[in-house]
Amino acid sequence: MSRISPVMAALKGAGRKALIPYLMAGFPEPSHTLGLMHALVQGGADIIELGVPFSDPMADGPVIQKAGEAALRHGVGMGEVLAMVREFRATDKTTPIVLMGYANPVESYNLQHGVNSFVQDAAAAGVDGVLIVDYPPEECVDFAASLRAHHMDLIFLLAPTSTDQRMRQVR
C-alpha cells in the first residue's frame, strides 16, 4: 500500500475532499521546485502531483505545455525529477507524491539505467503514485504489477464518457 490510500481514507472519514495541487518540476527554475512543494504542504495540500517535463505533452493544455518547455530548457528530465522527490522526502515523510507524465521518459530511463530501474528508483526516492497518460491499462500490466510490488499506485484518467467496464478495469 502506498501513502495515498491512508490519506484518502482519512479524508473520507473527515468528510473532506482531497486538495491535490499540480506543479511542473523545474518550473520556473529547478531550484524553486523543492521550496514550492513544501509551501504547498504548508498551504494545505493533501497530495502533490509533480509533472515530469516532456517534449510532446499531448494530454496537457497550453499552460502546462509552456511550463514544461521552460523546465526542458533547464535540462530537467526524469533523473532530475526523482532527485527532487528524494530531497523533498528527506524532510517530509508523509505527504504523498504522484508523478504525472508520459511513457517515453519512463521507457528511456529504463533503457539508460536498466530494466525496471524507473520503478525501483521512484520507490527509493519516495514516489507514491504514477500517472502515465499514454500507458493505456491494456499496455502496462507488468508495469502496474511492478509498481504495486513497490508500494506505488498506478493512476489512470477517467472521463465523464468512460464506461462502467472501463472504470472497473482501471481500479
> Which residue do the cell numbers 486538495 mark?
19
Find, among 126, 81, 124, 88, the residue nearest to 105 by Cα: 81
Which of residues 20, 72, 144, 170 is near other proteins by CB under 8 A? 72
Q: Is 161 exposed, middle or buried (0-12, 13-18, 19+ CB in 10 A)?
A: exposed
Give CA–CA dist 89/85, Å, rounded: 6
Cβ 56 to other proteins shortest distance, Å: 5
Binding mask 86-105 for other proteins (x = CB under 8 A): ------------------xx
Q: Which of 29, 56, 139, 142 binds other proteins (CB under 8 A)?
A: 56
Nearer to other proteins, 53 or 126 (CB): 53
Q: Does 169 bind other proteins (CB under 8 A)?
A: no
The question of whether 49 is a catalytic residue gets the answer: yes
User: What is the length of the chain?
Assistant: 171
The amino acid present at 111, given as its one-letter code, is L
Q: 27, 54, 88, 135: which one contacts other proteins (CB under 8 A)?
A: 54
Amino acid 60 reads D
Positions touching other proteins (CB under 8 A) are 53-56, 72, 77-79, 104-109, 112
